[in-house]
A and B are shown apart, each in its own frame.
Chain A
Amino acid sequence: MSRYIVKRMLQSVIVLLGVTAVVFFALNLTGDPVTFMFPIDTPIEVLEEYRATSGMNDPKLIQYGRFLWGALHGDFGTSHYYNQPAMQVVLERLPATFLLAFTAFLLALVIAIPTGILSAVKRNSVLDSIVRFFSMLGQCVPIFWLGLLLMLLFSVKLKWLPTIGSGTWKHLIMPTLTLAPGTAASITRLLRSGMLDVLGQDYIMVARAKGIHNGPLILKHAFKNSLSSVLTVLGLQLASLMGGSLITENIFAWPGVGQLMYNSILNRDFMVVEAGVCLIASFFVFVNLAVDILYAVINPRVRFE
């Protein structure tokens, strides 16, 4: 087991290195970052001086090394837009995105788990057809359209909820309702197919033959087995919500990391972009690792191999 964990951790480290490399070189090789950091009419001498003092005339690899070293310490330089350490700017926005992502994820789970299970157990029934249609629909509806429609209905027409911003639980409702359906649809489909797979297995028939009641049969025997196959993707869904809530944050002016990334890219605030992307990617990698380890814990066979 420990050998497996070590192997996965090593892989994760390599992936993270790759991520930082991509971020750094992509930003640095496509146009001179320095020119973007200052107003257009700044004299060249000022730019040159800045380059010399901030080490930007050194070979790229050395700059990358410096960047990497800084990154390990959480130092991504200073945001020229906010005049604060870049990472700090990102971290300030993190809780808002966390809140939104987790709430949407929980809502999605609450909808998807019973739906997916029931749909599989009552295969080919009317309920199953309805569920399958809606889960397909959920993955096809554009998030930005859904968000705007909700805004149209609840804010503009009914005036029940505030349009944009954050601060009260009322502000959380629409963004959550916008993000949840897509994720719920994916999870439902996955769970349904996972359950169908498991329900066709021999050991389920054997359990029935032993006299196990339907409830424990589905929950204890079938669900746990299908969960282990679904777990990896569940983790990815959560991580994806974290990084992918950009559009929702944009529509509802939710002050999260996604909105920050969008603005920073527009403002050419590269330090903040580097910090944000590295953070989100690290989160992805971490969630992946955690899910793989969890999978090994649940499925004893993986431990022994």
Chain B
Amino acid sequence: MEKCKDIFRSLVRSKTGLIGFIIIVTFLLVALTSSVITPYDPFEMVLRDKLLPPAWAAGGASRHLLGTDQLGRDLLSRLIYGSRVSLGVALAGTLAAATVGILLGALAGYYGKMVDTVIGRIMDIQLSFPFILLAIFIVALFGSGLRNITLVAAISGWVRFARVVRGEIMSIKESEYVEAIRSLGGKDFRIIFQHILPNVVSPVIVIATLELAKVVLMEASLSFLGMGLPVDIPTWGRMLSDSRDFMQTAPHLTVFPGLMICLVVLGVNMFGDWLRDYLDPKLDTNQ
């Protein structure tokens, strides 16, 4: 209980952390209640009302607060629905990246030598591919869709988790603390679980938060290029891509979806930064 108060106090003191937290919670709530709060069905096309500007602009209607797209679909509803999609994909992707990363990092750190070298080389090879190229490469090979986007997220994101876990394990493995336990007869496996894992939890949480933001961006980028989720699912990236044809007549279609992406990523990053400062200030998150 005391810890909760302490966390809360620290969060409130950091203005950016607080704003980030509020943004995240807002989007989470919106995503969770999306089926209830959307004013219209995101898929409902009313061609009569197509390309309406936002309610405050000339020609807008108050029934469509943010206007409509080229097929008469209400923009606000689609944005709300899109938050569900984005956050869902982000969570799945981050989880996948974390799992793969922790596993490989643990193997590399614990067994060291050959295993470590091989995994290290794989990291190097992977880092030689620019991120976006890697992403579309994979999508082109395996197809688009949620499962494959999660795969892309896992492949492009595991390295940071692996590095941290490997580092922690290696430093603890050699520490006198562990040597003392070993000399007293403690078993290796238990050592890992009881002593190493708790140390790993904080940096992993921080990296996972920051990775979440990256996955949101990645999914949006892929959807923008037409290589993300299936066409009929409204995601912010795809909405942006579609808006290109209507920039002259309906700029609101370009502004708002991108704004959503930007806000979510900003919020998660702000919160992630505060989280890092609170849990593990020495963590290098700039790799």
Contacts and interface: CB of A to CB of B under 8 A. Distances in A.
A144 B286 contact: no
Interface string A141-183: 1111100110110001000000000000000000000000000
A265 B265 contact: no
A47 to B, nearest CB: 21
Please indicate which of the listed interface residues A151, A189, A261 has the most CB atoms of chain B within 10 Å of its own CB: A261
Given A15-B124, A142-B221, A26 B141 contact: yes
Interface stretch (A58-66, A84-92, A243-251): A243-251
Interface stretch (A69-77, A113-121, A132-140, A216-224): A132-140
Interface in A211-247: 233, 239-240, 242-244, 246-247
Interface in B247-274: 247-248, 251, 254-255, 257-259, 261-262, 265-266, 269-270, 273
A152 B125 contact: no
A144 to B, nearest CB: 5
Interface in B116-161: 121-122, 124-125, 127-133, 136-137, 140-142
Nearest to B142: A30
Contacts of B136: 246, 261-262, 265
Sort chain B's interface into a size bin: 35 or more
A142 B261 contact: yes
Please indicate which of the listed interface residues B142, B247, B269 has the most CB atoms of chain A within 10 Å of its own CB: B247
B286 A15 contact: no
A281 interface: yes
A151 B244 CA distance: 10
B137 A277 contact: yes
B interface, by DSSP: helix, strand, loop or mixed? helix
A261 B141 contact: no
Interface in B210-243: 213, 217, 220-221, 224-225, 237, 240-241, 243
Contacts of B255: 149, 152
B128 A19 contact: yes
A123 B277 CA distance: 17
Given A140-B213, A142-B221, A240-B130, A148 B240 contact: yes
Contacts of A136: 16, 266, 269-270, 273
A interface, by DSSP: helix, strand, loop or mixed? helix
Contacts of A262: 136, 225
Contacts of B221: 142-144, 247
A27 interface: yes
B266 A140 contact: yes
Contacts of A247: 132, 221, 224-225
A55 interface: no
Contacts of A302: none
B125 A15 contact: yes
A141 B128 contact: no
Contacts of A103: none
B157 to A, nearest CB: 16
Nearest to A17: B125
Given A15-B124, A152-B247, A240-B130, A144 B265 contact: no
B217 to A, nearest CB: 6
Nearest to B135: A246
Given A15-B121, A141-B262, 8 more contacts: A11-B124, A18-B122, A19-B129, A30-B141, A139-B269, A144-B240, A148-B247, A265-B140
Interface of A: 11, 14-15, 18-19, 22, 26-27, 30-31, 133, 136-137, 139-145, 148-149, 151-152, 156, 186, 189-190, 193, 233, 239-240, 242-244, 246-247, 250-251, 258, 261-262, 265-266, 273, 277, 280-281, 284-285, 288
Interface of B: 16, 121-122, 124-125, 127-133, 136-137, 140-142, 213, 217, 220-221, 224-225, 237, 240-241, 243-244, 247-248, 251, 254-255, 257-259, 261-262, 265-266, 269-270, 273, 286
14 contacts: A15-B128, A19-B125, A136-B16, A140-B269, A142-B258, A145-B240, A145-B258, A149-B258, A156-B248, A243-B132, A247-B225, A261-B136, A266-B140, A277-B137
